[in-house]
Chains A and B, each alone.
Chain A
Amino acid sequence: MTPPLLRVVEREARVFSRLWRGSVFSSLLAPLLFLGAMGVGLGGLVDERNADVAGVTYLEFVAPGLLVASVMQATAGGSLWPVLGGFKWLRTYHGVVATPVPPSALYGGLITWLSIRAAISATAFLLVAAVLGAIPSWEGVAALPVAMLCAAAFAAPFAAFTATQDTDVTFPLVIRIVVMPLFLFSGTFFPTSQLPDGLRPLIVLSPLYHAAELARAATTGHLGWGSLGHAAVLAGCLAAGAWWGRRTFTRRLST
């Protein structure tokens, strides 16, 4: 028997196989352009000044940050509008839960799929970054599961939230107030040591900070016991989001 969750993944994969070309720009080309502009262009300037960015070249520093930041961004996009569409505009989720697939498995399948999709674009990103010399360590392959965990950690609460919404008016706010600040200030483009003293301790509240640290430890070959702590925070976000999402999906689809 195929678990119900995987049957949902199968549907998402089928749609992706038809429409993947449309998402290449946002999920792959855009991060690679960033990598060229910031990692190579801006990075050249940074390295000329002998600025210390965690003891690696700026390109090596920014590549893992960009990886998880763009994973977060793509995941947020994928768990807000399309999910509301499934409830409201296309109503496809109502068709799904009329079958033996329950709302919780639908939810789980969507999160799993967003994680797999992150793995697909992360693979391509990491290959190009490695060619550009941005991945100095073979441990960099571990950045792939990190990208998947990062996607799941964000998709779980975002999709759970979407199930509580009647319209998409709050979504641009979520992007501006949550996603953009995390994207820029989570130790993705510059070390958190550059943050003002008062803000620095707060960085541990950003799941993306933990994802960036974890991915950077992988690509620069510094995975260690500390990495487990970062992974645990992301797993915690996933668990809390999943707890919430099972409830919101069930409430939305079977009342």
Chain B
Amino acid sequence: MGLTKRFGGFTAVDGIDIRVEAGETFGFLGPNGAGKTSTMRMIACVSPPSTGTLRVLGLDAAAEGHRIRARLGVVPQDDTLDTELTVWDNMLIYGRYFDLPRPLIKERATELLAFVQLGDRRSSLVDPLSGGMKRRLTIARALINDPELLLLDEPTTGLDPQARHLVWDRLYSLKRRGVTQVLTTHYMDEAEQLCDRLVIMDDGRIVATGSPRELIDAHSTREVVELRFATPEEHDRASAQLHAASERVEELADRLLVYAADGDATAERLTGNGLRPAAVLVRRSTLEDVFLRLTGRSLEEE
């Protein structure tokens, strides 16, 4: 409650209030610099809040950090895998940091490496692994203590589409097993895929809260017409015309977005009104549109 994190004169997280229920997958969606990672580090009990109260798994984060950390799994934004150890030893040593008995670690490590499809790489060093494999190993390692809460900071940033889908698939499977997950992302498709509920963060503050569906319903229309124009002059002219016609428009560098309940009808009406776009695309609203609506900026252009 009222969670705030300051670094010198800079306020990274500015008084946010959130509550995550057991078993749900909760997301922080926002551009880089929105305060997502700072928030995650506070929840992970590696960074004390400047002000505000924080309870994690029913414990006070300020006083019982090590007890909380014992029950958390953390997948940080940058891999912190031990490159001086093999895949197997990474699991073993990480388990030892939690003071788990060796036979239990071995049993879980075998299971978890199979779960993330790295069972055949156990004697490999970390460096030869691909980015997606490292990510999966980080996830497996974070699960070694059978955590009640899994924290994932940008779990698929930097991965190719195939590797992303594999990670999503594994996270989805954890969700089915009832593992509570809190994740940050600046990919709206990731948030839509994985999160039961999410907050949209911008500039250290929460600008909206809800399920992906609720957020879209509350802050966007059902459909969006994307218009691209051949020249900047045509783009500007169309923009002026649409604003004059009091359509709901958002302007991006390379295209105009027109919000409407019925996209096809709107597209037809607009082209009938003398607009000559080079390309027209009608699509469903996404969280990207919600973010654009609430902040006037695009998520991924940061």
Which A residues are within 8 Å of any B CB, using their own CB?
Answer: 1-2, 4, 7, 10-11, 14-15, 18-19, 90-102, 253-255
Contact = CB atoms under 8 A, between A and B. Distances in A.
Contact of B96 (A7, A18, A255): A7
19 contacts: A2-B96, A4-B99, A11-B82, A14-B92, A14-B93, A90-B83, A90-B84, A91-B78, A91-B80, A92-B80, A92-B82, A95-B76, A95-B94, A96-B97, A98-B46, A98-B74, A98-B76, A100-B66, A100-B99
B66 A102 contact: yes
A98 B69 contact: yes
A4 B66 CA distance: 11
A29 to B, nearest CB: 22
A97 B46 contact: yes
B44 A10 contact: no
Contacts of A2: 96, 99
Interface string B77-118: 011111111000100111011110000000000000000000
User: Closest 10 A-B residue pairs measured CB to CB?
Assistant: A95-B80, A99-B97, A98-B74, A100-B66, A100-B70, A91-B80, A15-B84, A94-B80, A11-B93, A7-B96
B141 to A, nearest CB: 8
Contacts of B81: 92, 95
Which of A1, A91, A98, A254 has the largest number of chain B CB atoms within 10 A? A98
A1 B99 contact: yes
Interface of B: 7, 44, 46-48, 65-67, 69-70, 72, 74, 76, 78-85, 89, 92-94, 96-99, 141, 145
Given A95-B80, A255-B7, 8 more contacts: A2-B96, A14-B89, A90-B80, A92-B81, A92-B82, A94-B78, A97-B46, A100-B69
A253 B44 CA distance: 12
B96 A11 contact: yes
Contacts of B96: 2, 7, 10-11
B98 A100 contact: yes
Contacts of A15: 84-85
Given A7-B96, A7-B97, A14 B48 contact: no
A81 to B, nearest CB: 13
Which of B67, B80, B94, B97 has the largest number of chain A CB atoms within 10 A? B97
A142 to B, nearest CB: 33
A10 B93 contact: yes
Contacts of A253: 46
B93 to A, nearest CB: 5
A254 B70 CA distance: 16
Contacts of B80: 90-95, 98
A100 B97 contact: yes
B47 A98 contact: no
B85 A14 contact: yes
A90 B134 CA distance: 13
Nearest to A99: B97
A1 B79 CA distance: 28
A95 B141 CA distance: 10
B278 to A, nearest CB: 46
A185 B258 CA distance: 79
Contacts of A96: 97
